[in-house]
Structure formats: structure tokens, C-alpha cells
């Protein structure tokens, strides 16, 4: 394993790992992957602001996608219902505990589903 900081790279034993980590060295395995970061790392304010702005942008995009997903799920449900026969709609209404009242036509049953939501 190795300890790396700036242009310094040392081959170290497992027992030395904590000591080097406390000095700010990153601990790297034999494959070259960082397995532990040294203490005392800082990030510039500009980089922090860039990440914060990116995070805010991603949160906003996520919210828009969630809203779009809700709309698409609703449209999918409506499409699924419109493709069903009257018998299938009645069975579906029973499963979903939707009161169809005196609705007997497909249009009336679909309207009852819309009202139930």
C-alpha cells in the first residue's frame, strides 16, 4: 500500500496507515485506488459554490421529472382503462373499490373512475 500527498509517494505497511492519514496523506491500495483520504482536506469556495449550484439544479430537474412521472402515470392509467371492456372495467372497479353506481356504459364507467380520483 502507498501513502500519497502532493508529489510525495511512500510505500507503507498497514501499521503506518493511520499515522500517514493523520498527516494528510491519501492511502492507496496496490491497484492505485484511494482507499482512505488523509485528514485536513479543503475545497476552494469556488468549487464548493459550483457543486452547490449543480446540486440545486439537479434537485430542480429531479422535481420536474417527478411531476412529469406523475402525469405520465395518470395518462398511462387512463389509457389502460380506455382499452378495457365493460366487464374488465367492472372487475377492476371491484378490485379498486370504486363505486360505479348506476353506470353501465363504458364512458359512464370511465367517468366514475375519474371522479374517484
Quick check: is 77 in a domain? no
**pTM given for the model:** 0.52
Residue 81's contacts (CB-CB under 8 Å, 6 or more residues apart) are 89, 92, 110, 113
pLDDT one-digit tens code per residue, 40-76: 888 899 999 999 999 999 999 999 999 999 999 999 9
Cell of 5: 500527498
C-alpha distance across the termini of the chain, in Å: 61
Q: Is 19 helix (H, G, I), strand (E, B) or coil?
A: helix
| 117 has a pLDDT exceeding 80 | no
Which domain range does residue 23 map to? 2-36
Q: What is the pLDDT of residue 43?
A: 86
With respect to residue 102, please indicate whether it lies within any of the assigned structural domains: yes
3-state DSSP of 71-117? HHHHHHHHHHHHCCCHHHHHHHHHHHCCCCCCCCCHHHHHHHHHHHC
Q: Is the domain of 89 the same as that of 117?
A: yes
pLDDT score of 114: 87
Please state the rounded mean pLDDT for residues 7-12: 95
Amino acid at each position: 500500500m502507498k501513502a500519497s500527498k502532493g508529489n510525495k509517494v511512500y510505500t507503507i505497511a498497514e501499521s503506518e496507515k493511520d499515522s500517514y492519514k493523520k498527516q494528510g496523506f491519501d492511502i492507496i491500495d496496490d491497484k492505485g485506488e484511494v482507499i482512505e483520504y488523509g485528514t485536513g482536506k479543503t475545497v476552494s469556495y469556488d468549487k464548493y459554490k459550483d457543486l452547490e449550484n449543480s446540486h440545486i439544479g439537479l434537485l430542480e430537474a429531479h422535481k420536474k421529472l417527478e411531476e412529469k412521472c406523475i402525469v405520465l402515470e395518470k395518462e398511462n392509467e387512463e389509457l389502460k382503462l380506455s382499452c378495457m371492456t365493460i366487464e374488465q372495467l367492472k372487475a377492476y372497479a371491484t378490485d379498486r373499490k370504486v363505486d360505479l353506481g348506476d353506470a353501465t356504459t363504458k364512458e359512464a364507467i370511465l367517468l366514475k373512475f375519474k371522479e374517484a380520483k
